[in-house]
């Protein structure tokens, strides 16, 4: 479907506009998750990648999550097909765009050490802290959904030696 849409710029633009309108009409599930509370417990820098929005579309959710996390150092990365990202003309403070096909290995890696104490946030964290995906899997059959999720899972590693 997406290959077909990409061949017709008008339909592609209309599709992206419809997806953005749909996002604006629904209850925002990311607003229910305590991103600021969870990410605020971790010592970060301006170079820390707080979140990767996989298949994030036209930027609105990534920008909204970034705004929910005001005061937390770091950046968020919006991943989608290059032709989707090319259509974004708005300034995205604290958000970087990255062309990515989620059927290929995830190039951004996450690594953290787990603590044996659940109330303590791990101190040794590098790479991506959060992978976020929404409204992507419903477009694909089960085997392709599994591939998408395996690509994300393969990018995460954990060290349980603590």
Residue 135 lies in a domain: yes
Whole-angstrom CA distances from 41 to 56, 94, 96, 122, 141 are: 25, 19, 23, 9, 37
| Residue 112, beta-bridge partner list | 125, 158
| Number of independent structural domains in the chain | 1
Instruction: Check whether 132 has a pLDDT greater than 70.
Output: yes
Residue 2 lies in a domain: no
Residue 23 lies in a domain: no
Residue 116 lies in a domain: yes
What is the spatial distance between Cα 106 and Cα 142, in angstroms, rounded to a whole number? 19
Residue 13 lies in a domain: no
Residue 62 lies in a domain: yes
- Which range marks the domain in which residue 92 is found? 29-159
| Residue 53, beta-bridge partner list | 78, 132
CATH number at residue 72: 3.40.50.150
Report the catalytic residues. 138
What secondary structure letter does DSSP report for 156? E
Binned at pLDDT 50, 70 and 90, residue 117 comes out as very low
Per this entry, what is the length of the chain? 162
Greater confidence, 2 or 142?
A: 142
């Amino acid at each position: 479907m997406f290959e077909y849409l990409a061949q017709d710029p008008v339909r592609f633009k209309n599709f992206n506009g419809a997806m953005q309108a749909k996002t604006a009409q629904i209850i925002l599930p990311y607003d229910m998750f305590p991103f600021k509370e969870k990410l605020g417990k971790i010592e970060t820098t301006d170079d820390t990648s707080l979140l990767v929005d996989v298949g994030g579309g036209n930027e609105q959710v990534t920008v909204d999550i970034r705004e929910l996390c005001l005061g937390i150092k770091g950046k968020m990365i919006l991943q989608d097909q290059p032709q989707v990202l090319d259509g974004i003309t708005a300034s995205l403070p604290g958000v970087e765009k990255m062309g990515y096909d989620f059927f290929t290995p995830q190039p951004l890696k996450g690594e953290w050490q787990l603590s044996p104490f659940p109330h303590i946030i791990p101190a040794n964290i590098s790479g991506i802290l959060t992978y976020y995906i929404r409204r992507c899997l419903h477009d694909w059959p089960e085997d392709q959904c599994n591939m998408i999720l395996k690509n994300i899972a393969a990018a995460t590693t954990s060290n349980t030696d603590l």
